Amino acid sequence: MSQEPEDVKPKLNLNITYEGNQITVKVKANTKFAKIFTAAEQRFGKDAGKNLQIRV
């Protein structure tokens, strides 16, 4: 039986810094920014839409 390679989609590592704290979020290239902001807000423990900015 042949083994086929696992289908792995490339991901981007986004480093997000907020008030001196840094996190890394791995996302697919076509991930919507709203989803990225939601994940970052949850990790930083902030309310939605409260001054969280991502710089590219």
pLDDT in tens, the chain (56 residues): 556 666 577 889 989 888 888 889 899 989 998 888 888 888 888 776 656 565 65
* Site of tokens 């970052």: 40
Query: Is-contact 25 40, C-beta < 8 A?
Result: yes
Phi, psi of 18 (to 5 degrees): -140, 120
Helix (H, G, I), strand (E, B) or coil at 29: coil
Nearest to 44 by CA among 34, 36, 55, 32: 36
Cα–Cα dist 53/56, whole Å? 10
What's CA 44's distance to the chain center, in Å? 12
- What pTM was computed for the model? 0.60
